[in-house]
Copies of this chain bind each other. A is one copy, B any other.
């Protein structure tokens, strides 16, 4: 909760667009790749290797976050992190973010300031040299944060989902299932009936605190995307919708079968397989090329009847499809 008196923390509907933009831009660091930063019709970002990697991902209040659980800072951090992960998953280094904010007029200015702090800190922590270079501000009844991330391949070939080959090792960098564990804690413990309520840290065991943090402020291993590409990764993607769903997508795109070893999937293999939103990097490598930071979780087989096996058996695929799973009442 903001400690500032309300007069110092106006609602966005009572201040000019210029003041809001200034509050955001004064908080974002300068991107080392920006030739022209915010303030003109468009930004200009250096792309020394002759191409740009570009991706967009949106967080919408309701299906993607709840303000009782996520602070402005959390929201900025997560919106940055999920987009940085998509750039990393191509083998690129993130260079710049563009942020399109649609905000309710009764939101406080301090919320947007903390959001900008979250963007800055996530970039500094996960992808140094990357920063917000442009954006857009509109008014909407539904708080919506649409981010575009750009990246540079630095001379490497892009790593797609479709290059996995039989004999490759399947590996992952980053956590699996932690963010889903955190979401289960939030849904199970911090609701009054169906209404989300603020998290009381005193009610969380140590592992639960880490899981809630993984859900609200994920820290995917962004720098390892470039490492994987340099090491010769044959395929890569970020695990946003759960290992089962995303590994199956990779297997289908590569026309192979992916075989996972359950014992490599940690204390709770079911959660590691089904849980999304950690944005770990899933990659395949020639058997002798696994780089530091990645751990083997299986191998690539010639295309069989199933896209995905775990310990030799078919995997019941589950994952997050916002249209199928979302329920505006239960959240």
Docked-complex contact A150 and B44, CB < 8 angstroms:
no
Docked-complex contact B42 and A96, CB < 8 angstroms:
no
- Chain B residues with CB under 8 Å of A161's CB are 39-41
Docked-complex contact A44 and B53, CB < 8 angstroms:
yes
* Contact (A141, B139) CB under 8 Å given A54-B134, A55-B98, A134-B55: no
In the complex formed, the residue of B with least CB distance to A19 is B323
User: Does A64 touch B at the CB level, under 8 Å?
Assistant: yes
Docked-complex contact B41 and A237, CB < 8 angstroms:
yes
User: Does A26 touch B at the CB level, under 8 Å?
Assistant: no
Docked-complex contact B100 and A158, CB < 8 angstroms:
no
- Chain B residues with CB under 8 Å of A35's CB are 51, 158
- Chain B residues with CB under 8 Å of A302's CB are none
Docked-complex contact B100 and A58, CB < 8 angstroms:
yes
**Interface size in chain A (residues, C-beta < 8 A):** 73
The answer for the CA separation of A161 and B41 in the assembled complex, in Å, is 8
Docked-complex contact B46 and A90, CB < 8 angstroms:
no
Docked-complex contact A16 and B323, CB < 8 angstroms:
yes
Docked-complex contact B44 and A47, CB < 8 angstroms:
no
- Chain B residues with CB under 8 Å of A140's CB are 60, 62-63, 142, 144
- Chain B residues with CB under 8 Å of A292's CB are none
Docked-complex contact A139 and B50, CB < 8 angstroms:
no
User: Does A12 touch B at the CB level, under 8 Å?
Assistant: yes
Could you mark each residue 125-162 of chain A with 1 if its beta carbon is under 8 Å from any beta carbon of chain B, else 0?
Answer: 00000000111111111101010111101000010110
Q: Which of A41-95 contact B (CB under 8 A)?
A: 41-48, 50-60, 62-64, 85-87, 89-90, 92
- Chain B residues with CB under 8 Å of A102's CB are 58, 60, 142, 144, 146
Q: Which of A41, A45, A253, A323 has the largest number of chain B CB atoms within 10 A?
A: A41
Shortest A156–chain B CB gap in Å is 11
New A-B contacts (18) at CB < 8 Å, excluding given A17-B321, A35-B158, A45-B54: A13-B323, A16-B323, A36-B90, A36-B158, A39-B161, A39-B253, A41-B90, A41-B238, A42-B149, A44-B51, A52-B52, A55-B134, A58-B146, A60-B139, A62-B140, A63-B138, A141-B142, A142-B144
- Chain A positions within 8 Å of B, measured between CB atoms, are 12-13, 15-17, 20, 35-36, 39-48, 50-60, 62-64, 85-87, 89-90, 92, 96, 98-100, 102, 105, 133-142, 144, 146, 148-151, 153, 158, 160-161, 236-238, 253, 321-324, 326
A–B pairs, 23, beta carbons within 8 Å: A17-B323, A35-B51, A35-B158, A39-B253, A40-B90, A40-B161, A41-B90, A42-B89, A42-B90, A42-B92, A43-B53, A44-B51, A45-B51, A46-B51, A54-B54, A54-B133, A55-B134, A63-B138, A98-B148, A100-B148, A142-B142, A146-B146, A148-B148
